């Protein structure tokens, strides 16, 4: 295929869309929406987020001072609220209060769980590093809280009930998860077996 070079930019797409939250030094809950998030370890289970350090995000300050944060998954019907939490800064407004969201302290860390969010990871900061414009924060996941309505009998999250928001940085759009195109691991394992039998 014929290829061309594109303008250099931070590119990972599509990405999940999450709301990170932490208490500031006065116990106020800060929250900001971000797409810079990934799993980063299985043992112990960890998640890593990156937050703009140069823009002095209030949530970043609160995560670093408290040593804890939560990662919440907004649903597609919460796109407006999630978008606002990414656009406004906590230095100018009590953002969660403005949108009518309430919080409860997490069970295992000192960080706020947003009551209206259906799935939340409770995280303890275990590593931080600033690379370029962003600070990368790795949190050990010490608890996961989910609405009973989105969990199946095996304790797995049903994505069609959570309806997570997927972000497309190329078009500045939010999307739903699309149709299943394949199982994971089974096709690759079958392929491996076929290749070994050649």
Verify binding: residue 192, a copy of itself, rule CB under 8 A.
yes
Q: How far apart are CA 102 and CA 94, in angstroms?
A: 11
Angle at 10 between CA 37 and CA 99, to 5 degrees: 50
Evaluate whether 136 touches 174 at the Cβ level (below 8 Å). no
Pattern 160-189, binding to a copy of itself, x per CB under 8 A?
----xxxxxxxxxxxxxxxxxxxxxxxxxx
Q: Give the three-state DSSP class for 110.
A: coil
Q: For residue 120, what is the enclosing H or E element?
A: strand 119-131
Q: Can you tell me which of 58, 61, 118, 124 binds a copy of itself, judged by CB under 8 A?
A: 118
**In angstroms, what is the minimal distance from the CB of 55 to a copy of itself?**
10
Segment 64 to 103, residues that bind a copy of itself, using CB under 8 A: 71, 76, 79-88, 93, 98-99
**Nearest distance from residue 105's CB to a copy of itself, in Å?**
13
Cβ neighbours of residue 164 closer than 8 Å, sequence gap 6 or more: 16, 17, 73, 74, 75, 76, 177
11 touches 169 (CB < 8 A): yes
Site for a copy of itself in 11-70 (CB under 8 A): 11-16, 18, 35-50, 52, 54
115 part of the interface to a copy of itself, by CB under 8 A? yes
Using the minimum distance from each CB to a copy of itself, give the nearer residue, 65 or 168: 168
Q: Which of 4/25 has CB closer to a copy of itself?
A: 4
């Amino acid at each position: 295929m014929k290829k061309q070079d594109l303008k250099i930019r931070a590119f990972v797409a599509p990405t999940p869309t999450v709301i990170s939250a932490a208490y500031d030094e006065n116990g106020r809950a800060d929250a900001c929406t971000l797409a810079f998030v990934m799993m980063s370890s299985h043992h112990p289970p960890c998640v890593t987020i990156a937050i703009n350090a140069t823009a002095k995000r209030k949530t970043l300050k609160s995560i670093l001072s408290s040593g804890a944060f939560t990662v919440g998954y907004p649903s597609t019907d919460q796109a407006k609220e999630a978008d606002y939490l990414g656009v406004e800064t906590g230095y100018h407004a009590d953002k969660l209060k403005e949108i009518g969201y309430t919080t409860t302290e997490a069970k295992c860390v000192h960080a706020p769980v947003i009551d209206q969010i259906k799935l939340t990871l409770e995280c303890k900061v275990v590593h931080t590093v600033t690379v370029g414009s962003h600070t990368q924060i790795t949190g050990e996941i010490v608890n996961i809280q989910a609405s009973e309505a989105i969990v199946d009998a095996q304790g797995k999250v049903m994505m069609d009930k959570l309806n997570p928001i997927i972000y497309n940085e190329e078009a500045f759009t939010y999307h739903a998860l699309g149709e299943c195109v394949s199982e994971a691991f089974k096709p690759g394992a079958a392929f491996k077996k076929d290749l070994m039998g050649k």
